[in-house]
Amino acid sequence: MRRSSVVIADRHPVVLQGLTNLLGPESDFNIVARCSDGVACIEVVRKLVPDIAIIDVSLPGVSGPEILSIVNSEKLSTHVVFFSVSVDDADGPRAPDYEAGVGGIVEQGNWPAVEHYRRHDQSSSSSHLPEARYQ
């Protein structure tokens, strides 16, 4: 089975490390880059076009919803998944983001939602599910 390439973008180093530790050992995922700001994230997503970009909705520089808009306007195949403190977060994604093409919203502390997303993604016809550092 092909491993899904993943870019992780979060403004908190501990979250970047935690997501890397959580996803790294999974045979289904290949973490190709980690970013701590939106500018680095969109550069990496444009260059690598990962299957999945897990993005903090409140990244500095370019926000998660702005990155989603760029991914859509440039017709990149990357599936964007927002990582947020709360779905109801005032600065976070809203229902229109689903209409804009967000692949999902994962609340911090609710990691089982990623398992649901992975199962949904593997059952679809597409194999796609995102300090820049390549690994």
Helices (DSSP H) in the chain: which residue ranges?
Answer: 13-23, 38-48, 64-73, 95-100, 112-123
For all residues of the chain together, what is the average pLDDT? 75
Which residues constitute the domain of residue 83? Answer: 4-134
CATH of the domain at 46: 3.40.50.2300
- The model carries a pTM of 0.71
Q: How confident is the model at residue 33 (pLDDT cuts 50, 70, 90)?
A: very high
What are 35's strand-pairing partners?
9
pLDDT in tens, 50-90: 999 999 988 999 988 899 999 999 999 999 988 876 555 43
Q: Report the number of distinct structural domains present in the chain.
A: 1
